Amino acid sequence: MSTEAKRSEVTRADDRRGIWMRGLWMLVLAVLFEVGKVVLFVAGVVQFLWLVFNRERNQPIADFGAELATWQGQVTRYLTGTTEARPFPFAKWGEVEEG
């Protein structure tokens, strides 16, 4: 087997491994996305109750909601293959690695 053929075979194996690793990360992020939906629901209920009893919104909850929405968008872009940049927990919360 020629050296070039060996390199090509190694490259294909690395590509397959990379695809399977991406699949694993996609699964992890999909589960975390579902957890995020529950957190969003709870934050919405708490914000509603805060409005009912205090007649004003809770700014930290609103800020967290904006950050959660950004994260959910980042997860969606990764899961659909729009980007290779993995969001939190692979990047710092509120940021995303370049890719």
Distance (Å, rounded) from C-alpha 70 to C-alpha 18? 26
In this prediction, residue 27 has a pLDDT band, given cuts at 50, 70 and 90, of very high
| Domain encompassing residue 47 | 28-79
13 belongs to a structural domain: no
In this prediction, residue 2 has a pLDDT band, given cuts at 50, 70 and 90, of low
85 belongs to a structural domain: no
6 belongs to a structural domain: no
Are 83 and 89 in contact, with CB atoms under 8 Å apart?
no
Distance (Å, rounded) from C-alpha 56 to C-alpha 47? 9
Number of domains in the chain: 1
74 belongs to a structural domain: yes
56 belongs to a structural domain: yes
38 belongs to a structural domain: yes
50 belongs to a structural domain: yes
Distance (Å, rounded) from C-alpha 71 to C-alpha 96? 9
